[in-house]
Amino acid sequence: MSTFDVHRYRAEFPNLKINVHGKPLVYLDNAATTLKPRCMIDAVNAYYVTGVSNVHRGVHFLSEQATAAFEYSRQVVRQFVHARRVEEIIFTKGATEALNLLAQSYGRHFLKKGDEIIISYMEHHSNIVPWQMLCQQIGCVLKIIPMNDQGELIFDEYLKLLSEKTKIVSIVWVSNSLGTVNPVKALIDAAHQKRAIAIIDASQAVTHTAINVQELDCDFLVFSGHKVLGPTGVGVLYGKEKLLEAMPPYQGGGDMIKSVTFSGTTYNALPYKFEAGTPPIAEVIGLRSALEFLQTISWENMKAYKEDLLEYGTKKLLSIEGVRIIGTAKDKTSILSFVVEGIHPHDLGTLVDQEGVAIRTGHHCTQPVMEFFKIPATARASMALYNTKEELDTLVKAINKAKEVFNA
Amino acid sequence: MRDELYQQTILEHNRNPRNFKKLEGATHVSEGYNPLCGDHLWVYVKVDANGIIEEAAFEGSGCAISKASASMMTAALKGKSVDEAKVLFNEFHQLVIGELKPDEQPNHLGKLTVFSGIWQYPARVKCASLSWHTMHGALEKAKTISTE
């Protein structure tokens, strides 16, 4: 692991220096949101201190500067996901909004009664509910790819669900509650064989692996900025240009129009057609900085480092009596969902918090997954590039302490 | 420093919850659910002809705080009138949000004051109050109570 200097990276995350209840923070809730590197915070700060302006609508110096910074960020995102054209990058307020946009703009326009949409058992609620709403609106049908006890999608069952009726396949790349990495390329190719479009929710994948939308050949891909070291309130929708062109706008307002009269409105070109109103300018600029920071690190080294953390954490957790890990897929990211016999996840969360350890407890917005494993909730430790084995040791000690309190 | 949340009384009621059963002959039943954490329980109350609570019980699943709270609630309700139960509901509610200081203000809470520190754990207040809201809903005849 000599190629990955974790302490060098840790130094870039000021939030790591705080104490919680008098103990050094151990932040293991990265699947909910990641901590932020100093360069990202500085970029947002600089916009607010010396660069405030609206974009795309002023001739003054600050407005031109903000517009240039905003549009340069789009270039950086294009390059980050390897999109063909910058017009294919739409800024949203998050992955959730991007998925709602797709359901309402693409889905409502191109689907009709009886058409089918396929999602998987392990989707985040944000990739379930927008499709359920669409089904209620137009009478299309939602189909669910089942999973096995390890928390892996059953590919043969997916192939059986696909038919001429399938119009959309919308799948999570990496499960936020199980850590499973889904075989997205194969899922996309199979969807295309039936002429369905493929949408990828890359919210957890963005910190796991390099993204190349052209190689994947996905039709759309979404992620949130705050899960990739960026600010909250900004997300990305990538879409193939010809599909985005054919879609009607999602929201109306300023910036998305070419001209407005009371007899009618003509819409702006891509990507602005989908960016009604003042966009999250500071957040877009911050996202750029976060992605640039991430790109200074070798994916290969980071992946190897996090795999090592996952292996270590898994071994350590399983050494505690009564711990059961939920989600044991062969291909997995550094997300450890688990339950401890005799302690409800919520109690565990509060007790390890006393030791300064931040984990997530609950259903992680994936209630069907909880129901599948017949548990109300899990505790989840999710690791980022700045976490260490020592921090996992602290987690294990905190769990053992909780067990003492509960005599579990 | 926050008050210790997991006091012995709470841990003990979690391990051995009282009145943890479906109550046959209940006159009031309600279901409570906290979608945030998945706590899910049913509260049963049996009120006699004079408006006195003969028995209260609960079943379901949840964290130690919600379980202990439900257990202690059912024990506290026995023998109280419906009106007294509603007073207790209000006092308990005030207690868990930190508005009622049991040492300073008169109240009927008794052992229930073990939850007096929970306002310092805002994310856990709903765990303690779920069974109480559900009981209140049962007495008011609402069907499903959500603390969300």
Domain boundaries of chain A, sorted by first residue: 6-29+298-406, 51-295
Residue of chain A whose Cα is closest to the Cα of B121: A350
CB pairs under 8 A between A and B: 46
Residue A376 to residue B6, Cβ atoms within 8 A:
no
Could you tell me how far CA A291 lies from the centroid of its own chain? 14
Residue A345 to residue B11, Cβ atoms within 8 A:
no
pLDDT classification of B133: cutoffs 50, 70, 90: very high
Q: Is B128 exposed, middle or buried (0-12, 13-18, 19+ CB in 10 A)?
A: buried
Relative orientation angle of helices B64-77 and A345-353, to the nearest 10 degrees:
110
**Nearest in space to A278 (alpha carbons), one of A250, A257, A254, A258:** A254
Angle at A264 between CA A258 and CA A269, to 5 degrees: 25
pLDDT for B144 equals: 56
Distance (Å) from the alpha carbon of A348 to chain B's nearest alpha carbon: 9
Residue B63 to residue A405, Cβ atoms within 8 A:
no
Distance (Å) from the alpha carbon of B3 to chain A's nearest alpha carbon: 11
* CA quadruple A122, A125, A127, A132: dihedral, nearest 10: 110
pLDDT for A2 equals: 54
pLDDT for B47 equals: 94
One CATH from 3.20.20.80, 3.40.50.2020, 3.90.1010.10, 3.30.565.10 for B8-140: 3.90.1010.10
Considering only the beta carbons, identify the residue of B6, B37, B127 that sits closest to A405: B6
CATH fold for domain A51-295: Aspartate Aminotransferase; domain 2 (3.40.640)
Q: Which residues of chain A lie closer than 8 angstroms to B11, CB-CB?
A: 405-407
pLDDT for A224 equals: 98
Is A135 assigned a catalytic role? Answer: no
For residues B16 and B135, the answer to whether their CB atoms sit within 8 Å is no
Cα separation values, A351 from A316, A345, A394, A401, Å: 18, 10, 13, 8
* CA quadruple B102, B108, B113, B116: dihedral, nearest 10: -50
pLDDT for A376 equals: 87
pLDDT for A1 equals: 47
Residue of chain A whose Cα is closest to the Cα of B38: A376
- What are the residues whose beta carbons fall under 8 Å from the beta carbon of B98, sequence distance 6 or more? B119, B120
**Which of A344, A366, A403 to probe the B interface (max B CBs under 10 A)?**
A344
Considering only the beta carbons, identify the residue of B11, B38, B121 that sits closest to A350: B121
pLDDT for A50 equals: 94
Cα separation values, A211 from A83, A86, A214, A238, B25, Å: 9, 15, 9, 11, 61
Residues A11-67: tens digit of each pLDDT: 999 999 999 999 999 999 999 999 999 999 999 999 999 999 999 888 899 999 999
Residue B63 to residue A344, Cβ atoms within 8 A:
yes
The number of CA neighbours under 13 Å toward the Cβ of A284 is: 27
Query: What is the spatial distance between Cα A351 and Cα B124, in angstroms, rounded to a whole number?
Result: 12
**Which of A129, A341, A343, A346 to probe the B interface (max B CBs under 10 A)?**
A346
Domains A6-29+298-406 and A51-295 belong to one CATH topology = no
Query: What is the spatial distance between Cα B4 and Cα A105, in angstroms, rounded to a whole number?
Result: 51
Considering only the beta carbons, identify the residue of B15, B38, B63 that sits closest to A363: B38
Low-confidence ranges of chain A (pLDDT < 50): 1
DSSP string, A335-371: EEEEEETTB-HHHHHHHHHTTTEE-EEE-TT-HHHHH
Query: What is the spatial distance between Cα B48 and Cα A176, in angstroms, rounded to a whole number?
Result: 50
Query: What is the spatial distance between Cα A247 and Cα A107, in angstroms, rounded to a whole number?
Result: 9
Residue B11 to residue A351, Cβ atoms within 8 A:
no
* CA quadruple B109, A352, A9, A390: dihedral, nearest 10: 160
Residue A347 to residue B37, Cβ atoms within 8 A:
no
CATH homologous superfamily for the domain A6-29+298-406:
Aspartate Aminotransferase, domain 1 (3.90.1150.10)
Backbone angles phi, psi at B2, to 5 degrees: -80, 155
Distance (Å) from the alpha carbon of B8 to chain A's nearest alpha carbon: 9
Q: Which residues of chain B lie closer than 8 angstroms to A361, CB-CB?
A: 37
Dig out the tokens for A340 from the structure. 């401890």
Query: What is the spatial distance between Cα A121 and Cα B41, in angstroms, rounded to a whole number?
Result: 26
Distance (Å) from the alpha carbon of B147 to chain A's nearest alpha carbon: 15
- What are the residues whose beta carbons fall under 8 Å from the beta carbon of B6, sequence distance 6 or more? A347, A351, A405, A406, B64
Domain coordinates in residue numbering, chain B: 8-140
pLDDT for B6 equals: 94
Q: Which residues of chain B lie closer than 8 angstroms to A350, CB-CB?
A: 5, 121, 123-124
Could you tell me how far CA A246 lies from the centroid of its own chain? 26
Q: Is the model's pLDDT at B142 over the cut of 70?
A: no
Distance (Å) from the alpha carbon of A148 to chain B's nearest alpha carbon: 23
Q: Which residues of chain B lie closer than 8 angstroms to A407, CB-CB?
A: 11, 15
pLDDT for B145 equals: 60
Cα separation values, B21 from B61, B70, B135, B143, Å: 12, 12, 15, 19
Calculate Rg over the CA atoms of chain B: 14
Residues B61-117: tens digit of each pLDDT: 999 999 999 999 999 999 999 999 999 999 999 999 999 999 999 999 999 999 999
The number of CA neighbours under 13 Å toward the Cβ of A369 is: 27
- What are the residues whose beta carbons fall under 8 Å from the beta carbon of A155, sequence distance 6 or more? A183, A186, A187
